[in-house]
Amino acid sequence: MMSEKKVALVTGGTRGIGKACVEAFAREGYDVAFSYHSSVAKADELATSLSSETGVSLKGYKSDAGDAIACKALIESTINDFGRLDVVVNNAGITRDTLMIRMSDEQWDDVIQTNLSGVFHTCRAAAKVMMKQRSGAIINISSVVGVYGNAGQVNYAAAKSGLLGMTKTIAKELGPRGVTCNAIAPGFIETDMTHDLNHKEELLKAIPLKRFGQPEDIANMALFLADKGKYITGQVIGVDGGLVF
């Protein structure tokens, strides 16, 4: 079918920042496709409840962000089911934290494959659609760790830093076809991934706003870049409460 509404795709859309993005775009009137890795029940519940609340169409797709074939298939499934693709939010990611000297090859490879290569494969597949329609917005969820680094996360920091260079390059390549590409670098956001962080009181001292962010803070920026920020591209936007490392 051809959706009469704009269509947004959010990877890793059933929890944390991804779920907040799914909710924000649905409530703004987008039809929303989203990927998930594990819980079918959670994905179905999210789609059903939001569709009932907003009246838009939502569909979850079980997909592995670290698999190149799966990334391409996700874009194809979205187009087949919704008929168009206006926004991609690359949010899916994993952590395998440990100090560099203890890090295994598998821990390195898993994070790079999912958090960096997976975004490349998704962007490449989406770009072919967006270039043809001469419009679209790609929003890559990076991290403040990709800007400043963080001990114990050399794999995650490398992947999230790589997203910054990827974003700036994609912006240059797709800009002439009317497609924007930006990165959001969240600071410390209250999600499952940050729930067990140590030294939270020390971290708060480095945040001028003196609080951790909420997933909705990132979702609101993603929505802005998709809707209002059409003359913004190739940028890395920190949403971090003024964090100073």
User: For residues 206, 98, 159 and 208, what is the CA-based torsion angle, rounded to 10 degrees?
Assistant: -10
Distance in angstroms (rounded) separating the CA atoms of residues 236 and 141: 10
Q: Which bin fits 59, alpha (ψ -120 to 50), beta or left (φ > 0)?
A: beta
Distance in angstroms (rounded) separating the CA atoms of residues 180 and 207: 30
Is residue 112 within 8 Å of 105, Cβ to Cβ?
no
Distance in angstroms (rounded) separating the CA atoms of residues 242 and 15: 25
Residue in 30, 36, 156, 231 annotated catalytic: 156
Residue 30 bears catalytic tag: no
Three state DSSP letters for 18-69: HHHHHHHHHHCCCEEEEEECCCHHHHHHHHHHHHHHHCCCEEEEECCCCCHH
Please list, in sequence order, all residues whose beta carbon lies within 8 angstroms of the beta carbon of residue 232, skipping any fewer than 6 positions away: 180, 182, 225
| R_g (Cα) of the chain, nearest Å | 17
Is residue 203 within 8 Å of 189, Cβ to Cβ?
no
Which amino acid is present at 207? I
Which residues form the catalytic set?
156
